[in-house]
Structure 1
């Protein structure tokens, strides 16, 4: 028998089945050099979309969290680009701050050099070099992820132009009266010796003393205020006691002694201390106000004050107040004229103002000494231990303290157009779209309760707070002209803000400048630098506004940035421009392992993006990002990656099949929609619905739904149905036959739609496919990113056909089940060996009778009762299915069984006609 293989239109493509992504992707990256610039030119007349990049720290290689973040941004940017927008994306880096200082200090220590042994200018130079080095490293790592952006012109917070802009922003806030200098308690890291912002504090469990202290009430013998504290070291700074005015307090007698406690906490006090007694008197909190007591470490008496901050959840309902070491204490103290007192230095050591036995002792070490001293002097009621959530420094992971020092603050109560900064910020939060929606309540509650923003830091590496102090009268010089003069000096110098530390006050001030208060020309410059959150929080002004963009379409970062960059950007923008810097804010969770544990070196569960790229390629990493629901913590592990690899293969193989069956096709030969085969018209209709769904999921930022939809479409709707059924028409009919061209017309549309739809996340693969599609149609642009995702077209949707095929598809599954029964019994080996019977409700089947055998991939279909293997259909009520062996003999070319009279020589009539059209002999 003749081999008819050469007469078939078998698939042909040099698009490889094996991706070899780690080797192929760098070649595509080379092709993309200059692409961003070309796209800016090509899309210049389109509406603008701006996703503003939150700057990562330039202090190490990128980790998996960076990859998650940058890929999510890239997916959005590329979808907007392929949807008809001009996309503006400038990557940025946070170049100042303690993380970089610490790394430079480590490098110095390795050379046996102490930070104190070199000048501030030399240290800043080392910090700048370190940041520059890692900007370049991270830039290459981000580009390797396939992220499209203006990598040649990123924004760096250490660029002179950026620093100058920041100084101008600072000047605006000074001019508006929003910046104040005050001695109030702030988070203070005693190890890094600097103030910290809210966003730089993390909470971890910590064990501390839990003590009850008795403070003698003046004028009443053996009567004491009972106070509970977990920070004994703050007792030397005690200035008063706080009570709730409307709470009920009792005099609780234990033997000869009486303790004043909140009524609701007597039982708790008794159970904890073991002191059993009786209530002799009840009073309201307001009756205790003004009473005096003996302070534990001061000669002066203390008084009782009313406070809205006292709670009855723990302790005694009477709170020891140290305005120098507590936020609420400070607020109440300020109200009643109590100066914040903090006898603790930058390293957390007690100063000479403290009791002698505590001097030079660090606060946490002092707890034990204070407890022993209280016990000795008869002030201690009870001593225990407590494990509680306590603030820690996010950098060094050590516990922080509240400490009162003179600092610069942006006042949340400062007025702008008759409203406070807090009120205006809360109003702007309401105007922003928060994704997920619960992000709004999160940032709202934070802004509602946040204290004034401490913007000063006692470090070297950062933008200086460019104010001067008059040496004669102490006046703070913060004139608009001075800020502008300094800003111009910074932006015109290659050294940027370094000049603040190198030049003298006279060189920094405008020529002949005199103190507006006293006329003196003798000034001292501020040595503190700005909080890095002010650096990055000013990026809307220093990056976007300089380009004429007043509001970004989106900010996108991890969920921790509600208290970080989202908030600092909001406050700075509202303070400067009375509006939020963004229209939408999207947050993602953190990366964890497959068990949901945080990735850490100690657990050995860290997976770096570099190792994934080396083993699998960046597209696998990108596919992982969109496969997960980023609104929660995102899991990553070996088995997850393996699943992603399998899903990638399904998508790639589907695209390969499309390309392989288009080798002889040209779009000019496409069949018009209304002339397509009904099965192809169904797929074109289905594709429109699919494009609508994919577009909706993209617009809703539900990327895991995009991924699921495309994956399922490739593996179910295409591979298991449409492409499987289509093989007969593609391979068997003559190359230029209507049957084959109708199928190819749809395959081409599928290839374009799928390639552009996956391009936002499978960017490398989409570009590779696009190169092959350009061989089919040389009118296509040079990159997939110069094209557009096809829009769903209502005119291409045949809704009646969609309904029919929805039922036909379910009937096909029933037919397959019946065939499978026959195959299990080895009655038949292949579906083409089957003859299918259908009876009962066959009205729909009659409509498509001529095509049913191809649709079911069997040799014969008869609409009557019959068949050895029978079952009742689940798809359609009243339908029955039977399967028997096919009649006739098998055509060696198409494998379909036909009656003997339908053969021409060795092959069936259909195959004979196809061969004849190619000029060959049967």
Structure 2
């Protein structure tokens, strides 16, 4: 191991293995290399992490590190990081690596802070992506899923998920993530499926679970309902149309004189002006929803008027003389789209209580299907930002449409489109036409509707619009909104207690909003984000029309009014849960299952089991129920907002609408409070240019490749050096910088290990005996101890990394180590300075390695074992060491800040001399340092400036210095005049001194070095 000072000099014989360099000796040419206390260590400079890390993983397995940690944490306050389950269907990607590394840093640091910090990994196993893979395998073999018994199909899904769990487990462990990998939780385990069933039954019992017919997001490709958390938004090009709805009259309204009157009873004709021949114009991006239209919405905050077309081409769809009712702000845009070249505003319109005809009303051969009134009603979601100022209401195809239609009590919501995206057979003109095909491509429905509107002379313009549109995050295909019977959990219904009573206002929404306020959100903005989502979310659609999942394990019977009654019987529910616990949820689908669970008290002819499966977000939202509340190693005494233990959930920021969201609702609905105390969110990983990673672009960074080339600790260092609260970037250049940072940190650790080879506990020096420089370093350790603890406690890993990296590279390697190398290598054995330095290095080592362990677990372990080899020991069993308060010395620290400023000026002056080739090594210099500030002069007078500046001598003068002296603008009152050192070069330390040769026994060294040689010779004789 070669050690160099900041001036580039290599001490005599400064190579590992000692006496190999003769170098430039004194007059007698002696080789003093074996007399120097040079660093000695087997800790390699080249890390070789890809090879070394698997060896350490095997060692941790061998010594049962996880078990040792659990035993060491026994009786301490618990900090439980509950794993948000990744989906078991593919190799891990860089986002997985970010997530798992952050979790591991949290768990390790919380353990080192004095908690029983446990981590149990988990997996999400049910759901469509796995079904899809099995169906693909079936199609490749020419098999039909519908012809395979459902239990057999489910077992194939289970086997598929288990295979990926095993693969992902190995990949996660390779990241250095410590946890109970032998006993993870999985949502498809029998005990988990039984508890998930119990959880949905609780919602049935407290009255929040109900079946209703509402428009839901529907995937035609996947043939199932979707929740908001399963949808992502992408650019999509839609066909747009402007459609005429002829005005036919008014609905009843309250007139000015009071009372409910029809138009023909009104005294004041101005209340009911005639709009005969005028049409309300709507604009839509979904032409296929026109057959489902039942109303039109307007805004009370928008000004409307009747406009007449006065000039247009003969073949135009909008014809001269036609009258259109439009929002004033949008009229010009509408006429431009309709290729109307001239128009006039006739008069203002109040659309309240207008009634129109459906645009397909009067169509021949459809039996009057579309001959119904279309009322115009106010809607608070209508604006005049785009379109016409009117919104066509298809209550079967949109949440806003449905809610307004129901609130206005306008009638029964129609069903027009089936699960395969085809119009039902009862829809005239369009039966069998498809909105979307099985691959997510546009079908023929839009064209069919447009053709019918043209034939009815109800279209005035069409176009194309590129906009953000919801897509299934699994199939990546666009979704539609369709009215279909589904199972919901109510957000605003009073929750029933076990005795059937309820408290007004005690709703799921109210409980969730109240619970959010008691949670620590990291970063804090997460609270506002999820709060807004809960405030505005609709009822939770929990049913899915698939096979691989936990069924909504309830029985129902028809009430005859379109609704169903849910069977609430503890004995039936107990039989269901017991069967699931012993056989899994497959028991629900076995032949004769219904009567088996109903027993002898109920008939399967009257009570029917629900075969819809649960939304997988309900599965993962229930994980707290079969992990945190069941496993003894995870149970926490939370006493919410005040208990000694804490539970953290940590995932990506998209989980505010996913796992954080579903877990909050599930727990609040069944337990009255959130399942977590702390929620930490991180951003997504982008490439170096800030672009989303894509195989087609070629910018994907695979964690497996980074580990193979550089090691997992490099990935971990990148994570902890980044601001995880925002999106992170990674790529070749960023990783190159990370590797360089790691190299500097490793070299600091290596030098510490090498120097501490000479440390003996018996030579330890007390604080009071230490030189000022050592006391200053201990002060910095005390400052760092506070910084590191606070930052880890606040999950601010970037701050930990920044503080430790700056300390190790700038304060230790570039300053303290440089200054003290001469004393460490050359001072006599008895030297107080040398012993004090070794004492401080011991304290530095014991803290740095433990502080770094959560971030760099492999490197910290390798470093720790290099100094403290042990069969079963580990740095990961060491808590952050206590740091004595007496080390803090602000006055001393302030003095050293001044000294280092003066040192900067000296080093700057020497660099000029070196560049001009007037000196080579800084030891050839003896600068004259002029300090005019009395306080600054006093500070630097207290230290050996030659030692601090690594020169052979230095002269301090209390004045301004000559005008041509070297100065730095930001260090006023300091000037340096370079000068060469006088005397001879010491053959051992290379210092230049007039005292070289004054000791007759050692004529080629300084008296200091002569004393060191005598003491060393004496020690060697005593050891013989």
Once the 2 structures are TM-superposed, how far is the Cα of residue 337 of structure 1 from its aligned partner?
4.3
What residue is the counterpart of 2:335 in the other structure?
A: 270
Match of 1:860 among 938, 947, 953: 953
What residue is the counterpart of 2:518 in the other structure?
A: 431
2:87 aligned with 1:87: no
**What is the CA deviation profile of residues 249-298 of structure 1, one whole-angstrom value per residue up to 9, with x for unaligned ones?**
2222224321122233223323332333222232323253x566555561
2:201 aligned with 1:171: yes
Match of 1:311 among 380, 383, 388: 383
The TM-score normalised by the length of structure 2 is: 0.86
Match of 2:793 among 694, 699, 702: 699
Question: Which structure's residues are more often helix, by fraction?
Answer: 1
2:459 aligned with 1:380: yes
Greater CA deviation, 27-36 or 123-132? 27-36
2:51 aligned with 1:19: no
SS at match of 2:1017: coil
The TM-score normalised by the length of structure 1 is: 0.95
2:835 aligned with 1:741: yes
Once the 2 structures are TM-superposed, how far is the Cα of residue 605 of structure 1 from its aligned partner?
1.1
Once the 2 structures are TM-superposed, how far is the Cα of residue 506 of structure 1 from its aligned partner?
4.3
What residue is the counterpart of 2:602 in the other structure?
A: 514
Contact 2:358 2:370 in 1 (8 A): no
Greater CA deviation, 691-700 or 54-63? 691-700
**What is the CA deviation profile of residues 355-379 of structure 1, one whole-angstrom value per residue up to 9, with x for unaligned ones?**
2444243353211221122112201
Separation (CA, whole Å) in 1 of partners of 2:767 and 2:53:
37
Q: How many residues align?
A: 912
What residue is the counterpart of 2:281 in the other structure?
A: 226
What residue is the counterpart of 2:592 in the other structure?
A: 504
Separation (CA, whole Å) in 2 of partners of 1:661 and 1:79:
28
What residue is the counterpart of 1:915 in the other structure?
A: 1013
Greater CA deviation, 247-256 or 400-409? 247-256
Separation (CA, whole Å) in 1 of partners of 2:142 and 2:432:
31
- Greater C-alpha radius of gyration: 2
2:573 aligned with 1:483: yes
In structure 2, list runs of 5 or more residues that go unmatched.
1-28, 250-274, 310-319, 362-368, 437-441, 496-502, 641-645
What residue is the counterpart of 2:986 in the other structure?
A: 891
Separation (CA, whole Å) in 2 of partners of 1:14 and 1:82:
27
Once the 2 structures are TM-superposed, how far is the Cα of residue 874 of structure 1 from its aligned partner?
4.4
**What is the CA deviation profile of residues 122-152 of structure 1, one whole-angstrom value per residue up to 9, with x for unaligned ones?**
1101100011111111111111100011111
2:30 aligned with 1:2: yes
**What is the CA deviation profile of residues 705-730 of structure 1, one whole-angstrom value per residue up to 9, with x for unaligned ones?**
22122222121111110001110111
SS at match of 2:491: coil
What residue is the counterpart of 1:679 in the other structure?
A: 773
**What is the CA deviation profile of residues 731-774 of structure 1, one whole-angstrom value per residue up to 9, with x for unaligned ones?**
00133532221111111111111101111110000011110231
What residue is the counterpart of 2:668 in the other structure?
A: 574
In structure 1, list runs of 5 or more residues that go unmatched.
none
Greater CA deviation, 415-424 or 59-68? 415-424
Separation (CA, whole Å) in 2 of partners of 1:557 and 1:285:
48
What residue is the counterpart of 2:313 in the other structure?
A: none
What residue is the counterpart of 2:174 in the other structure?
A: 144
Match of 2:697 among 584, 594, 603: 603
Separation (CA, whole Å) in 2 of partners of 1:461 and 1:566:
23
Once the 2 structures are TM-superposed, how far is the Cα of residue 246 of structure 1 from its aligned partner?
5.2
Greater CA deviation, 714-723 or 472-481? 472-481
1:719 to 1:472, Cα distance in 2 relative to 1, 3 A? closer
Separation (CA, whole Å) in 2 of partners of 1:479 and 1:331:
33
What residue is the counterpart of 2:783 in the other structure?
A: 689
What residue is the counterpart of 2:885 in the other structure?
A: 794
Contact 1:222 1:256 in 2 (8 A): no
Once the 2 structures are TM-superposed, how far is the Cα of residue 901 of structure 1 from its aligned partner?
6.4
2:564 aligned with 1:464: no
What's the C-alpha RMSD, in Å, of the aligned pairs?
2.2
2:619 aligned with 1:535: yes
Greater CA deviation, 506-515 or 148-157? 506-515
Once the 2 structures are TM-superposed, how far is the Cα of residue 694 of structure 1 from its aligned partner?
2.3
Contact 1:58 1:132 in 2 (8 A): yes
Once the 2 structures are TM-superposed, how far is the Cα of residue 510 of structure 1 from its aligned partner?
4.5
Contact 1:185 1:330 in 2 (8 A): yes
Once the 2 structures are TM-superposed, how far is the Cα of residue 443 of structure 1 from its aligned partner?
1.2
Contact 1:295 1:301 in 2 (8 A): no
What residue is the counterpart of 2:263 in the other structure?
A: none
Contact 2:224 2:545 in 1 (8 A): yes
Aligned positions of 1:236-315 closer than 5 A: 236-245=291-300, 247-254=302-309, 255-275=320-340, 276-288=342-354, 296=361, 298-315=370-387
SS at match of 1:509: helix
SS at match of 1:279: strand
Contact 2:996 2:1005 in 1 (8 A): no
Separation (CA, whole Å) in 2 of partners of 1:908 and 1:453:
84
Contact 1:293 1:303 in 2 (8 A): no
What residue is the counterpart of 1:367 in the other structure?
A: 446
SS at match of 1:285: coil
Contact 1:175 1:480 in 2 (8 A): no
Once the 2 structures are TM-superposed, how far is the Cα of residue 245 of structure 1 from its aligned partner?
4.1
Separation (CA, whole Å) in 1 of partners of 2:569 and 2:463:
54
What residue is the counterpart of 2:499 in the other structure?
A: none
SS at match of 2:810: helix
1:202 to 1:385, Cα distance in 2 relative to 1, 3 A? same
Contact 2:232 2:470 in 1 (8 A): yes
SS at match of 2:823: helix
Once the 2 structures are TM-superposed, how far is the Cα of residue 82 of structure 1 from its aligned partner?
0.8
Match of 2:931 among 827, 832, 840: 840
Aligned positions of 1:808-819 closer than 5 A: 808-819=899-910
**What is the CA deviation profile of residues 817-843 of structure 1, one whole-angstrom value per residue up to 9, with x for unaligned ones?**
111111112111000000111223365
Separation (CA, whole Å) in 1 of partners of 2:88 and 2:163:
8
SS at match of 2:627: helix
SS at match of 2:790: helix
Match of 1:406 among 472, 485, 493: 485
2:608 aligned with 1:524: yes
Match of 1:750 among 833, 839, 844: 844
Once the 2 structures are TM-superposed, how far is the Cα of residue 221 of structure 1 from its aligned partner?
4.2
Separation (CA, whole Å) in 2 of partners of 1:425 and 1:806:
52
Match of 1:880 among 948, 969, 975: 975
What residue is the counterpart of 2:271 in the other structure?
A: none
**What is the CA deviation profile of residues 858-877 of structure 1, one whole-angstrom value per residue up to 9, with x for unaligned ones?**
00111238899831354643
Contact 1:171 1:479 in 2 (8 A): no
